[in-house]
Amino acid sequence: MVKGVKHPVLAEYAKRIHDGEKNGFLRVLPGRFSPGDKFVIYESYGQYRGWADIVSIQKMPKGKMISEYGLRLMITEDEFMDYFGGRKEMTIIEFKNFEKFSPC
């Protein structure tokens, strides 16, 4: 069964995703979803922007995440360093086939 997983994303990060620039989303904790589920993106103030197919979910250390995903992450390298902070590992959700929702 395919599930939809929603997550708030700052407007500037959501734009990077729906403009096709990025396909990697960072999370502190792993979630209850699997490859093949839908990743629903909504901006922090509640506007749903679109969805994409989850390809993989991996927990990894900072260095490996930068080397494997680098420019595909939803945030810049400077933002990444601030976001990652002192954590040893974080979860990355890789997705494909982003489909932007049409306004009603």
Model confidence, pTM = 0.77
Q: How many domains does the chain have?
A: 1
Distance (Å, whole) CA 59 – CA 90 = 5
In a structure prediction context, what are the per-residue pLDDT tens digits for the chain, which is 104 residues long?
777 877 778 888 888 887 877 888 877 666 677 888 888 888 866 688 888 999 998 999 988 988 888 888 888 888 888 887 888 888 888 989 988 887 65
Q: CA separation (Å) from 103 to 49, 51, 83?
A: 9, 14, 31
Q: Which structural domain, as residue segments, surrounds residue 75?
A: 4-100
Q: What is the CATH number of the domain that holds 26?
A: 2.30.130.30
